[in-house]
Amino acid sequence: MIMNGGVKILFEKELGVTDFHLPSQTRLLYVSECDIIAGNGYKRKLVRYRNASSSFQELVLVERTQLSEQYFSALQRFVVFDLGLSLLPVSGQTEASQLITQIVRFHKKNILKNILKCHQHLIISQIHELPALAKT
C-alpha cells in the first residue's frame, strides 16, 4: 500500500483484465502506446474486459501520442461503437495517473455531499439540541 497525495494505492493480483479498480464502482483498462503500435492484440483484451463486465462503470484510457495518432480513430471506433465502452484519451502515464487521482477525489467529495444531504435534517435537529447554538 502506498499513500500518494491522499490517495491510497493498493496492488491486487486478482484484477483479471481490469488494470484499475476504483472505489467509485469504476473499472479502468489502460491501452498504452506500445499496445496500439504492436497490433491488434489489445482488441482481444478489450473484448475480454467488456465481457467481464458487471455493474461497474467501465472506462478505457488510451495513450494518444504522435506515434499512436494514426491508429487512434480506428481504436476509438472499435471501443466506442463496437464495444460500447467509454474512451478517455491521455497523453501518457503521467496524465493517466492524474486523471485516476481526480476520479478518486471526485468520488470522495460526492460521497461526503450525499451523506450530508441525506442526513441534513438529522444534523439540523442535533444543532438545535445544543443550548448555545439553538438561541442564535
What are the extents of the domains in the chain? 2-134
CATH class of 2-134: alpha beta
Tell me whether strands 26-31 and 20-22 are parallel, antiparallel or unpaired.
antiparallel
The whole-model pTM stands at: 0.68
pLDDT digits (tens, 9 = 90+) for 8-42: 665 656 666 777 777 767 788 899 999 999 987 88
Contacts of 22 (CB under 8 A, 6+ apart): 28, 100, 103, 104, 107
In the sheet that 26-31 helps form, which strands lie side by side, from edge to edge?
A: 20-22, 26-31, 57-63, 86-90
3-state secondary structure of 1: coil
pLDDT digits (tens, 9 = 90+) for 118-128: 655 555 655 55
